Structure 1
């Protein structure tokens, strides 16, 4: 079981469903949410500040990321994450990109980011998490 997961999506129902399914499957102890990429970057900024003071601080090892969001979309978030060198600080964090439509070009682009391990269609399901469990 993972200690923390972050779900990033602009749809409140999708975030609630993500949290409920993860809790029901006992996939993580804590589920944090962000409504867009900007909130997620703020989350990692706060974590980075705390992490420099406490190297034992836990951080999400898995982030479910929607692509189509207002304010800062998934692509902008991934670029910002890399620019801030968070992949160096949070080495074990892996991303699964979620989308309601699977565009082959989006899949190729997502997998070009070193921290993205998969691209799945929404919504997160119990079956999906059961398949992912052994990898985490």
Structure 2
């Protein structure tokens, strides 16, 4: 079981579903949420700052990331993350969880080393069961 996961999506129903499915699958002890890429980046920055003073802070080991969001979309988040704080998250992976069917999105995701999977919404217990051997 992972310690901490971050779910980034602008849809509150998707976030609620993520929380329920992650809990049901016993996939992570703690689930953090952000409504867009900017909020996610600010949350991660604050965790990094807190971790410098408190070794008990758990940085997300996995990020479920939507692509199409207001303020900062998933791609903008990935670019900002990669150019600023990715060195603090060497063990962290991103799973794009999106409703897009555009093949160019799938191909673009392959350009980011941190992206490990590209999955279609909605998240399911079966998806997490398949991921457990990789992330446990």
Determine if the TM-score, normalized by the shorter chain, exceeds 0.5. Answer: yes
TM alignment of 1:96-115, pairs within 5 A = 96-115=95-114
- Classify the secondary structure of the residue corresponding to 1:134: helix
Give the equivalent residue in structure 2 for 1:17: 17
Kindly report the root-mean-square deviation, in angstroms, between the aligned alpha carbons of the 2 structures: 1.0
Q: Distance in 2 between matches of 1:16 and 1:68?
A: 18
Per the alignment, residue 127 of structure 1 pairs with: 126
Secondary structure of 2:52's counterpart equals helix
- The equivalences for 1:1-136 within 5 A come to 1-55=1-55, 57-84=57-84, 86-136=85-135
**Structure 2 residues not aligned, in runs of 5+:** none
CA displacement 1:76-103 (0-9 Å, x = unmatched): 000110121x221111110001111222
TM-score by length of structure 2 reads 0.95
What is the rounded CA distance, in whole Å, between the counterparts of 1:76 and 1:11 in structure 2?
A: 18
Report the TM-score when normalising by structure 1.
Answer: 0.95
For residues 116 and 133 of structure 1, the distance between their equivalents in structure 2, rounded to whole angstroms, comes to 16
Give the number of aligned pairs: 135
Instruction: For residue 13 of structure 2, give the secondary structure of its aligned residue in structure 1.
Output: helix
